[in-house]
Amino acid sequence: MFLKLKPSFYLLFLPLALWMLLFLVLPYTRVFIQSFYTIDDFGVLQPALSFDSYKRFFTKELYYFTLFKTFGLSAVVTAIALIVSIPLAYYIAFKATKNKTLLYTLIILPLWVSYIVRAYAWKIILGEEGILNSFLQFIGFIDSPISALLYSDLAVVIGMVHIYTPFVLMPIYTSFEQIPTSLVEASKDLGANRFITFFKVVLPLSLPGIITGGTFAFVLSLGDFLAPNLLGGSNTLFISNIFQNMFGTSNDKPLGSAIGIVLLVVVLFVLDMSSRAEKRYSSLNSDRT
C-alpha cells in the first residue's frame, strides 16, 4: 500500500490537525474557560474560577424558563415536521412510480435554497400588511388585519417547520426506500391490511430514519436564533437569543459562555441519546441488508 511512510502521514494530516486545533478546539475550550470568569463593573473579563454564571443561569427565572420554552417549541416543531414528513416520504417511496427522481429532487431543493429567503417568505406572508391578511380581507373573511400572525410563537413554529422539514424528509425517505418490498408483500400475503402493514412493518423498520430526522429538527431548532429574531417578536425568545445578547448588548461574556456550555451539553446529550436509539432500533433488523 502506498504512503506507508510516517512522514507522509504527518505531511497530509498536520495541516488539518493544526487548523482544527487552532480554529475549532481552542475556541470551544475558550468558551468553557470563560464561563468560569467574572466581569468587573465595566464589563471587562476577569480571570477567575467562579460558578457564579451557572448559578445565575439556573436561578433567574427568565433564563431557565426560556430554556424550557425553547425545549417545548423545538419539540412542537419536531413533532409537526415528523407528522408532515411521513406521508410525503411514504408517497414518494411507495406510491410514486414515474416521477420518483423528480419528486425526490423537489424535496431536497429547499435545502439548497437560502435560509434567509425561506424565513423572509413567512415575514411577507404573515405580516400585518402581509399577503395572508390582505388576501383574507380581499375575500371578505376578515374586516381588519390580524396583527398577531407575525411576531408570535406561532410564526416562529410555522417558519421553523417549513425550514427544517426537508431535513426530516431526507432520512425518512431514505429509510423507507431501504425497506425490501418483499417484506411489505409478505405482510400483505399473511393477511395484514395496509394499516397494520404500515404500523407493524414499515414504521418499525424506518425508525432509525425517523429518529435521525427528528433529531435534526430538534437540534436545529434548539440552536436557531435567526427565525425567532425575524419571525418572533420580543416575546418569543429562544435560549440562543439570550446567548447572543450576552455577547452583544448585555455584554456579559461569562454568563453568555455558561449558557453556551449548557446548550452544548444539552445538544451533545440529545445527539448521544439519538445515536443510541438509532443503533438499538437498527440492530433489531440488522440481518436485512
Question: In angstroms, what is the minimal distance from the CB of 201 to another protein?
Answer: 16
Which string of DSSP letters, residue by residue, matches 210-248? HHHHHHHHHHHHHT--HHHHHHS-TT---HHHHHHHHTT
State yes or no: residue 203 binds another protein (CB under 8 A): no
In the region spanning residues 30 to 89, those forming contacts with another protein, defined by CB under 8 A, are 30-31, 34, 84-85, 87-88
Tell me how far apart the alpha carbons of residues 119 and 115 are, in angstroms, rounded to a whole number: 6
State yes or no: residue 154 binds another protein (CB under 8 A): no
Which helix (H) or strand (E) element contains residue 151? none
Residue 10: which residues within 8 A CB-CB, separation 6 or more?
A: none
Grid cell at residue 154: 406561532
Grid cell at residue 159: 417558519
Residue 272 or 284: which CB sits closer to another protein?
272
State yes or no: residue 249 binds another protein (CB under 8 A): no
In the region spanning residues 160 to 189, those forming contacts with another protein, defined by CB under 8 A, are 162, 165-166
Q: Pick the binder of another protein from 51, 58, 68, 115 (CB under 8 A).
A: 115
Q: Pick the binder of another protein from 23, 143, 190, 249 (CB under 8 A).
A: 23
Q: Pick the binder of another protein from 15, 43, 47, 180 (CB under 8 A).
A: 15
Question: In angstroms, what is the minimal distance from the CB of 146 to another protein?
Answer: 14
Q: Which of 40, 39, 22 is nearest to 30 (CA)?
A: 22
Tell me how far apart the alpha carbons of residues 221 and 232 are, in angstroms, rounded to a whole number: 13
Question: In angstroms, what is the minimal distance from the CB of 82 to another protein?
Answer: 12
Question: In angstroms, what is the minimal distance from the CB of 88 to another protein?
Answer: 4
Strand partners, 9: none
Question: In angstroms, what is the minimal distance from the CB of 121 to another protein?
Answer: 3
Residue 25 or 62: which CB sits closer to another protein?
25
Question: In angstroms, what is the minimal distance from the CB of 110 to another protein?
Answer: 6
Residue 87 or 284: which CB sits closer to another protein?
87
In the region spanning residues 216 to 245, those forming contacts with another protein, defined by CB under 8 A, are 219-220, 222-226, 230, 240, 243-244
Torsion of CA 238, 241, 246, 250, to 10 degrees: -110
Q: Phi and psi at residue 45, in whole multiples of 5°?
A: -65, 135
Q: Which stretch binds another protein (CB under 8 A): 60-68, 126-134, 173-181, 183-191?
A: 126-134
Q: Pick the binder of another protein from 46, 99, 134, 250 (CB under 8 A).
A: 134
Tell me how far apart the alpha carbons of residues 136 and 131 are, in angstroms, rounded to a whole number: 8
Render the burial of 245-272: b for 16+ CB within 10 Å, e for the rest: bbeeeeebbbbbbbbbbbbeebbeebee
